[in-house]
Amino acid sequence: MNHTPHDAVILGGGLAGLSLAMQLKREYPDMDIVVLERHTRPLPEAAFKVGESTVEIAAHYFADTLGLLDHLESAHIRKFGFRFFFSEGRDDLADVTELGVSAVLPTPSYQIDRGILENYMREEALRRGIDVREGVVVRHLDIGSGDEPHTVRASAHGGESELRARWLLDASGRAGLMRRKLDLTRDNGHHANAVWFRIDERLAIDGWCDDGEWKERCEPPERWRSTNHLVGPGYWAWLIPLSSGAHSVGIVADAAMHPLDTMNTFDKALTWLWEHQPVVARQVEARKDKLLDFAFFRHFSYGCSRMYSSDRWALTGEAGAFLDPFYSPGSDFIAISNTYITQLVGIDRRGEALGPHARLFERLFFSFYDSTLRMYRGQYNLFGDPEVLPIKVIWDYAYYWGVLCQIVFQNRLGDAAFISRMGPELSASTELNIQMQAFFQRWHAVSEKRNRKLMLDQRDLTWFADMNRTLHDVLDDDALAARLDNNVNMMRLLAAGIIERAAIDHPALMEGNDHLVDIEGARTKLFDLVA
């Protein structure tokens, strides 16, 4: 029995829990932190956990905030961006519309092998003075209030123990120990399922067709390093390379359009791929003997009614709320939540009142969550549309790089004064996103869905590449305010350009959007990509 309260007990030593512990320890070196983790090392490589693709916020968080850059560069794969093939029912990737970049964008992101990363992070956490306890099963939680400590009862190695903590931080993943205990889970209206497996061999997509011109579109010709999305109506399939040499394959689908029982075993999933993505099925069929694992999630997306409490408990990662893997935002929201938790711990250590800050951070977290959710909820039906989805992807990334990334990269997540100052611009960007997600549905309803033999190279969009290139700029408040204002104005022009372009083929789409297109200069070069 341990009756001396620890500064923090973290439930779960996976990606969310270990990164939270490391961030706290970096910020407050004297903190007494205990991490309780069910799994014991060594964790298996390749076939351990999904969530292998990172995007810019997560890459920045792991590399810079946590100091893991050398490990990411040496033990994982530098990603060749996102890539999309409109290959429903098709055999040859060279004959379909491809969306991606011809060369790697400046701001790095990574394909991570979760087993390799979490093995390393546990060792690194121990080196940094964090008490990581493995093989521990949490049996009971007593959540304190006011100044009362929290109590955790757990079993490990045949014995029982009790720990007390000032801060109780849940990073237990989908087990959601506190979320379930406090009945915080909420239906967010986004109903989709996922299945996945790993093949113990590289799926080298660059060699899947013999078209020389297609191969030369990328420099270097290494599409395999991308998170490759093969898309069709109501679904997308992923191909993600792992540094162990294996390849992760997944199918994510609208639950109503592609029921889970059509793909919830490996054999069913392979049959499904033969129908919808034969170009993938052929490669998987040839490597059936190299199958490492198979798993699925039903209704993987969910909300959560609380994230942070003035009673010194908080949730992070999948223990809280989860969106969708399409743009790989999972680790982004780990970074955001961990940063809010770290700031709350600092406020508590300074003896300041937690309540106002906990409410503010929770409101901000959910505003980011809800805005991102709109990119997925009710949108899977248009994923097979080679006219609309490429434009939606550009819009979604302009919103991501132009607003959320700016706040995170510039360390303004918890800056109440700056967030208040930028309130009108942030509200405007949110409203624009709401309107444009609805517009994409209207456009999809009348789109001719033309699938052309070409690559839509996002590198050709100078403004798009520049947004990525400048993410690591260091800006003071005035410079950041000017950038956000400029980015929101750019989004207005982008929205106008999208609507005007769509209305060329479908004039009725202009109806009801006069307020969005009545902008001088809307006809810009934003659309050289799809002119």
pLDDT in tens, 348-390: 999 999 999 999 999 999 999 999 999 999 999 999 999 999 9
Q: Tell me the two tokens of residue 187.
A: 């239906």
Q: Where are the alpha helices (DSSP H) in 3-162?
A: 15-27, 56-60, 69-75, 114-127
Please report, for the domain that includes residue 335, its CATH number.
3.50.50.60
If you ran DSSP here, which 8-state letter would residue 225 be given?
A: G
- For the segment 205-220, the average pLDDT, to the nearest whole number, is 95
Residue 457 lies in a domain: no
**Which residue matches tokens 């030369």?**
216
Is residue 330 in some structural domain? yes
Quickly tell me which residue has 């800006």 as its tokens.
Answer: 475
What is the predicted pLDDT for the residue at 3?
64
- Mark whether 105 and 205 lie in a shared domain: yes
pLDDT at 518 over 70: no
Burial 292-315 (b: 16+ CB within 10 A, else e): bbbebbeebbbbbebbbbbbbbbb
pLDDT tens digit sequence for 19-61: 999 999 999 999 999 999 999 999 999 989 999 999 999 999 9
Which one of 297, 327, 342 terminates a domain? 297
Do residues 253 and 339 share a domain?
A: no
On the question of pLDDT at 529 being above 70, the answer is: no
| Statement to judge: residues 336 and 482 lie in one domain | no
Question: Whole domain around residue 317: which residue ranges?
Answer: 1-46+114-182+300-363
Q: Does the pLDDT at position 530 exceed 70?
A: no
Q: Give ∠ CA 190-194-197 in degrees, rounded to 5.
A: 165
Task: Give me Rg for the CA atoms of the chain.
Answer: 23
In a domain, 368, yes or no: no
Measured CA to CA in angstroms, residue 379 lies from 116, 374, 436, 439 at distances of: 34, 8, 12, 11
Residue 99 and residue 137 share a domain: no
Look up residue 302 and give its two tokens. 């969910």
Q: Is 303 helix (H, G, I), strand (E, B) or coil?
A: strand
Separation of alpha carbons 95 and 76, rounded Å? 31
Same domain, 35 and 85: no
Which residues lie closer than 8 Å to 527 by C-beta, 6 or more apart? 497, 498, 501
Are both 247 and 131 inside the same structural domain? Answer: no
User: Is there a single domain that holds both residue 213 and residue 290?
Assistant: yes
Measured between alpha carbons, how far is 224 from 99 in angstroms, rounded to an integer?
14
Q: Is the pLDDT of residue 1 over 90?
A: no
**Looking at 297, 320, 340, which one is the last position of a domain?**
297
Q: Where does residue 10 fall: left (phi above 0), alpha (psi -120 to 50 degrees), or beta otherwise?
A: beta
Strands 159-170 vs 6-11: parallel, antiparallel or unpaired: parallel
| 8-state DSSP, 44 | P
Nearest C-alpha neighbor of 180 from the set 152, 134, 150, 141: 141
3-state SS assignment for residue 68: coil
Contact 197, 82 (CB under 8 A): no
* Contact criterion met (CB below 8 Å) for 56 and 31: no
User: For position 489, what pLDDT does the model report?
Assistant: 93
| pLDDT over 60 (residue 520) | no
- Burial (CB < 10 A; 0-12, 13-18, 19+), residue 288, is exposed
468 within some domain: no
The answer to whether position 197 is within a domain reads yes
Do both 96 and 207 map to the same domain?
yes
- Check residue 275 and give its pLDDT: 98
Which DSSP symbol is given to 255? Answer: T
Question: Cβ–Cβ contacts within 10 Å for residue 359, how many?
Answer: 13
Residues 239 and 281 in one domain: yes
Please write the tens of the pLDDT for every residue from 249-282.
Answer: 999 999 999 999 999 999 999 999 999 999 999 9
- Asked whether residue 369 is assigned to any structural domain, the reply reads no
CB 453 within 8 A of CB 90: no
Over 70: is that where the pLDDT of 531 sits?
Answer: no
CA distance 54 to 153: 34
Residue pointed to by tokens 């990603």: 79
Q: What are phi and psi of 81, to 5 degrees?
A: 70, -175
Averaged pLDDT for residues 493-509: 92
The pLDDT confidence band at residue 4, using thresholds 50, 70 and 90, is confident
| Mean of pLDDT values over 73-94 | 97
Burial track 393-424 (b if 16+ CB lie within 10 A, e otherwise):
bbbbbbbbbbbbbbbbbbebbbbeebbebbee
Share of the chain above pLDDT 70, in %: 97
The CATH number for 282's domain is 3.30.9.100
Q: Taking residues 208-234, what's their average pLDDT? A: 96
Q: Do 135 and 231 share a domain, yes or no?
A: no
Lookup: tokens for 54:
């990172």
pLDDT band, residue 517 (cuts 50/70/90): confident
Same domain as 399, residue 274: no
- Domain count of the fold of the chain: 3
Task: Please report the pLDDT score of residue 56 as a whole number.
Answer: 98
Confidence band of 527 (pLDDT split at 50, 70, 90): low
> Averaged over 121-145, what is the pLDDT?
97
In a domain, 381, yes or no: no
Specify the pLDDT at position 526: 56
Same domain, residue pair 109 and 40 = no
Output phi, psi for 197, to 5 deg.
Answer: -155, 165
On whether residue 505 sits in a domain, the answer given is: yes
In angstroms, the Cα distances linking 376 to 1, 52, 179 are 47, 19, 23
Backbone φ, ψ for residue 442 (5° rounding): -65, -45
d(CA 255, CA 264): 12
Return d(Cα 91, Cα 302) in angstroms, integer: 35
Retrieve residue 188's tokens: 């967010």
Please give the span between the terminal C-alpha atoms of the chain, in angstroms, as a whole number.
69
pLDDT of residue 512: 84
Q: Are 15 and 37 in contact (CB under 8 A)?
A: no
